[in-house]
Structure 1
Amino acid sequence: MSDAFSPSSSFSPGPSALWHNHLRALGSPHSLPAIRQMVEECAQRAGLEDEDVMKIEMAVGEACTNIIEHSYATQASSAPDSQLDIDVVAIRFADRFEVVIQDYSSINFAITEAETFGELDDWIATGRRRGLGIWIIQSFVDKVEHRFVCGQGNELKLVKFCA
């Protein structure tokens, strides 16, 4: 990942990327279908198997839902509209498909450090009604990276390696 967030208009995934697609959406539940559709179409274009397409689409949907519910809901009344956007960039490299999700929250939501559990049965045994989304994100992709830059927000990279 780069040292600083790039504005969407100048985003460049680097010379080793075969192609990329970018979507900027309002951080609202109404934007989730468009985000999921873009990721699904890009994952299919990248040649992922149907199951992997579904998994990365679900992982991205869960990550964006977490942004909307846990980050933006708490700052909605005080933030300008542009600060409640979510940028989603799908990138195809020779050996992998990546989705980079950037929010503009002042809250550091380090998903890589969040409490999780090993297997789905372990979560069921806890009796909890929430928390499954983090498990989905971490279990449905091959690699998860997160970084937070104060004053700029969170960047979450989800990677699915290609055979």
Structure 2
Amino acid sequence: MSDASFSLNGTHPTVNWLGQVRAPGTPGSLPLIRQTVVEAAETCGFCDEDVAKIEMAVGEACTNIIEHSYSTQPLNLDIEVKVGRYDNRLEVTILDYSSINFAVDQMAAVPLDDYIATGRRRGLGLFIIQSFVDKVEHRFVCGQGNELKLTKFFA
């Protein structure tokens, strides 16, 4: 997508599209997705810590799609990631084409102390997503899939 800004009928905030990638919903696609997001976050001037947090949140969201949504699907489905800069924030929109409603914004993450007490080695994805970005929004459209929007506001 181009770096051109646009506004729809003057009612939507102007967005500068910084990157877009559509890739197979497989673990092998994660480095490309992460790199796209890192480059966009760096372009926005986020500090190294925030860039890493955004990268991890997106990586965890995509891993959840691959492991929990796509593992039960009969087809090879893609993941699409779009990164946009607004006046006060960076938004990463992640689209999947699963028939499973995976409402990340409505799920409770396991508290970190509880997680540590169990000795588990996996299962922090929701905690990372919800803790490392400022806003998590989800929309599911039957027959189309999930749209997850992760927002990080500028300081």
Which SS does the other structure have where 2:52 is aligned? Answer: helix
What residue number does 2:10 align with?
none
Hey, what does 2:55 align to over in structure 1? 57
Distance 2:116 2:71 in 1: 27
Runs of 4+ residues deviating >6 angstroms: none
Find 2:27's aligned residue among 15, 26, 29.
29
TM-score of the aligned structures, taking structure 2 as reference length = 0.88
C-alpha displacement of 1:13 = 8.6
Report the Cα distance in structure 1 between the residues aligned to 2:6 and 2:94, rounded to whole angstroms. Answer: 16
Deviation at 1:139, TM superposition (A): 0.2
What secondary structure does 1:18 align onto? strand
Q: Which amino acid aligns with 1:27?
A: G
Unaligned runs of 5+ in 1: 1-8
Alignment deviations for residues 95-135 of structure 1 (CA, whole Å, 9 cap, x no partner): 000100000000001111223134x2332123333320110
Distance (Å, rounded) in 2 between the aligned partners of 1:142 and 1:17: 18
Hey, what does 2:87 align to over in structure 1?
A: 94
Aligned residue for 1:130, secondary structure, equals coil
Structure-2 change in CA distance of 1:14 and 1:143 (3 Å) = farther
In structure 2, relative to structure 1, the CA distance for the partners of 1:131 and 1:48 (3 Å cut) is same
Alignment of 1:52-91 (within 5 A): 52-75=50-73, 78-79=74-75, 81=76, 84-91=77-84
Which whole-Å CA distance do the structure 2 matches of 1:13 and 1:125 have between them?
A: 48
CA distance in structure 2 between the aligned counterparts of 1:14 and 1:126, rounded to whole angstroms: 49
Match of 2:146 among 151, 154, 160: 154
TM-score (norm 1): 0.84
Q: What is the distance in 1 between the residues matched to 2:17 and 2:70?
A: 30
Identity level (%): 65
Q: Does 1:105 align with 2:98?
A: yes
**Where does the alignment leave 5 or more consecutive residues of structure 2 unmatched?**
8-13
What are the superposed Cα offsets for residues 15-64 of structure 1, whole Å, 9 maximum, x if unpaired? Answer: 21133321001000000000001100010001111110000000000000
- What RMSD, in angstroms, separates the aligned Cα atoms of the two structures? 1.8
